[in-house]
């Protein structure tokens, strides 16, 4: 995972958590304001609790996936050998090999 994609994943998860908290907060306010006259607020609050809870669980699940990917990448990096760069061919070496004049 590159730094750019990791940062993007962090922002995405944080926005999911923020959206879930806003939805749950709005639902709580609707539940507190509901009464016999405003009975429909109970339905709105119930749907909001379901949606906010689902969004919260999705964000937690995504954090678990990101951490799992990070550990998998670290394990693969430990298995492989260190990358070795090819030496740059010198102009004299290329002339001796007949590649350039």
Confidence category of residue 20, pLDDT binned at 50, 70, 90: very high
pLDDT given at position 18: 97
Tell me the average pLDDT across 25-31.
Answer: 95
* Residues spanned by the domain of 57: 3-79
Average pLDDT, the chain: 88
Any domain includes 25: yes
Q: Any idea which of 2-11, 31-40, 46-55 has the lowest mean pLDDT?
A: 2-11
Any domain includes 84: no
Any domain includes 16: yes
Any domain includes 99: no
Distance CA 6, CA 3 (A): 5
pTM of the model: 0.68
Distance CA 8, CA 87 (A): 35
Handedness of CA 15, 17, 19, 22 (dihedral sign): negative
Any domain includes 97: no
Any domain includes 23: yes
Any domain includes 92: no
Tell me the average pLDDT across 24-48.
Answer: 93
Any domain includes 95: no
Provide the number of structural domains found in the chain.
1
């Amino acid at each position: 995972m590159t730094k750019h994609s990791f940062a993007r994943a962090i922002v995405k998860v944080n926005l999911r958590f923020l959206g879930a908290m806003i939805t749950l907060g709005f639902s709580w306010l609707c539940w507190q304001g509901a009464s016999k006259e405003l009975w429909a607020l109970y339905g709105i609050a119930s749907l909001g609790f379901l949606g906010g809870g689902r969004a919260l669980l999705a964000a937690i699940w995504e954090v678990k996936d990101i951490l799992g990917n990070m550990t998998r990448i670290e394990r693969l990096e430990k298995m492989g050998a260190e990358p070795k760069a090819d030496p740059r061919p010198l102009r004299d070496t290329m002339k001796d090999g007949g590649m350039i004049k």
